[in-house]
Amino acid sequence: MASADDVIRVAAGEIGYHEGPDNDNKYGRWYGMNHAFWCYIFCQWVFAQAGTPLPFRTAYVPYGATWARQNGMWRPSTQSERGDLIIFDWTGTGQAAGSNTHIGIVESHVNGTVQTIEGNRGDSVCRRSYVAGENDIAGTINCQPLFAFHPHPTDNRFQVFPTVQQGIHDLGATGTFPDIAHPVGTLQNALNIVNHKEAPQPGALSPDGVFGGMTANAVRAFQTAESLAADSVVGQRTWATLDHALDRAGR
C-alpha cells in the first residue's frame, strides 16, 4: 500500500507540466476524457501512479465532495494532512456544489499554511499556498485511511471501507484482498468466499469492481440471510457482518 509520501513524490514530479491546445493533456488521455477540465483527473492519475487509486472514480469535483461527505471522509482544511485532497469553491459558499470548483493535493500543512500541488491551475501543474480555513476552501477529503490501511487487522478488516451500492465502480480490477482502493472488488471477492463460490466456479461474481445487478442481488441475499435490512447498500453494518462471516469461514 502506497504512502502519502509516494503520492506527493508522484505529484511533485509533474510540476511544470503544461497542457496543449484545447485542454489536451496526458492525464485526460489516460483517464479517457481528454480536452476537458482536468484538475480531478490529475488527482486520479497521481494516486493511481503512486499505487493507491482513489476509491471513487469521477472527474467532477462536486461528486467527489458529495461522496466524501456521505462516507465520513470530509473534514475542514484546518484538519488537513499531507496526501489529502483539498477542494475549492470559488463562489465562497463552501458547498462545492457547482462547476465553479477546483481540487488539488495537500503537500503540507504547517502553522496554518496549506501547501498544495494542483493540476489544471493556470493550464499547468503547479504548487500553491493558502491559509487553512480561508473562504475559498470548501474542505478536504481525508485520504489517510488509504495510506493507513493494514491488510490483516485484528478487528474488522473492513472498518475503513466506504459505503458502496449499485452504480458505483472501482478504478479497475483488484489483485489483492482486501483492498481499500477497490472496495467493490473486495466486496465481490468476500461474497464469493462466504457463498463458497470463488471464481472461476459457476455462479461466482466476477470481481471486476463494477457494482451491477448481480452484485446487488448477492448483497441482498447476504443481508437477508444475516437478518440485515435487505437494501443492497453496503454500509458499516453490512461490512462488519461480512467480516464476521469471513471469520466463520476461516478466512
d(CA 178, CA 167): 21
Give the pLDDT band of residue 92 (cuts 50, 70, 90): confident
The larger pLDDT score, comparing residue 84 to residue 57, is at 84
Which amino acid is present at 21?
P
Tens-digit pLDDT profile for residues 172-212: 776 778 888 889 999 999 999 888 886 667 788 988 999 99
pLDDT reported for residue 153: 45
pLDDT reported for residue 152: 42
**pLDDT at 249 exceeding the cut of 80:** no
The ranges of the chain annotated as CATH 3.90.1720.10 are: 4-146
- The full DSSP string for 37-58 is --HHHHHHHHHHHHT---SS--
Mean pLDDT value across residues 156-183:
85
Mean pLDDT value across residues 79-102:
92
Q: Answer whether 0.75 is exceeded by the pTM.
A: no
**pLDDT at 154 exceeding the cut of 50:** no
d(CA 137, CA 224): 43
**pLDDT at 94 exceeding the cut of 50:** yes
Dihedral angle, C-alpha 168, 138, 88, 84, nearest 10 °: -60
**Superfamily classification of domain 152-248:** PGBD-like superfamily/PGBD (1.10.101.10)
**Superfamily classification of domain 4-146:** endopeptidase domain like (from Nostoc punctiforme) (3.90.1720.10)
H helical segments located in the chain: 4-12, 26-31, 39-50, 61-70, 144-148, 183-194, 213-225, 236-248
Mean pLDDT value across residues 228-239:
91
On whether the CB atoms of residues 165 and 149 are closer than 8 A, the answer is: no
The ranges of the chain annotated as CATH 1.10.101.10 are: 152-248
